[in-house]
Amino acid sequence: MNFAADHTAHVTDVKSYDSFIAELDLMRTSENGFISIRATGTFSSIHLRTACKSESGVDLVEATSTQALFDFESIAGTLVGFWSPAYTKSIAIAGYHMHFISADRQHGGHVLDLAADAIFVELNDVNDVRLAIPETAAFLDADLSADTSAALDIAERGGRGGRPADDVTST
């Protein structure tokens, strides 16, 4: 997908991730369409996580329970992410999913919180979503009937715990 902004805004006085999301909600034009998001600027603070390497087959909740947490101040960079409609929750993370990469490409991760004096926000309305299904025997034989929404919510939105980044060893 090529990103082409359909909506842009200069957003100021962003106090938290929740206040940023409230601004994005005002920019979205529908509850039923996908959007891709890009926001650039200098963030007065940003709180990120990166899940540590885990063995194959480890579920998402367990994998994110050992995550590295990072806090940065006065860091330039770009937020990228998506907003997916509620009706897609069985194949996507419904709502917002945001990641950050620093301008120098040295730091990044899943966004847990942020603050900024001013950032430039671009939204792209996505109307062509493609889903590739694995063709492996493991996937084709797997029982995928369980409702994983609670586990996904813990891993994606409730996983604000974890170990400080300096307590994590590379694997």
Q: What is the reported pLDDT for 109?
A: 96
Residue 112: closest CA among 16, 13, 19, 15: 16
What proportion of the chain, given as a percentage, has pLDDT over 90?
Answer: 61
Q: Which of 33-37, 62-66, 107-111, 115-119 has the lowest mean pLDDT?
A: 62-66
CA distances from residue 48 to 73, 98, 121, 155 in whole angstroms, order as listed: 12, 10, 19, 14
Cβ atoms of 114 and 20 closer than 8 Å: yes
Residue 127: closest CA among 16, 62, 34, 44: 34
Q: What is the mean pLDDT of residues 25-44?
A: 96
Tell me the pLDDT tens digit for each residue of 17-32: 999 999 999 999 999 9
Give the model's confidence band at 1: pLDDT under 50 very low, under 70 low, under 90 confident, else very high: low
Provide the whole-model pTM: 0.81
Q: What is the reported pLDDT for 122?
A: 98
Angle formed at CA 7 by CA 75 and CA 19, multiple of 5 degrees: 50
Cβ atoms of 33 and 126 closer than 8 Å: yes
Residue 116: closest CA among 82, 79, 80: 79
Please give the Cα distance from 43 to 120 (Å, whole number): 11
Q: Which of 1-15, 103-117, 154-168 has the lowest mean pLDDT?
A: 154-168
Q: What is the reported pLDDT for 166?
A: 39
Structural domains of the chain sorted by starting position, each given as residue range(s) with its CATH number in brackets = 7-164 (3.30.1330.80)
Angle formed at CA 7 by CA 132 and CA 78, multiple of 5 degrees: 70
Q: What is the reported pLDDT for 126?
A: 94
Is residue 140's pLDDT more than 70? yes
Please give the Cα distance from 17 to 130 (Å, whole number): 29
Is residue 36's pLDDT more than 60? yes
- The residues that bridge with 36 in the sheet, in sequence order, are 82, 124
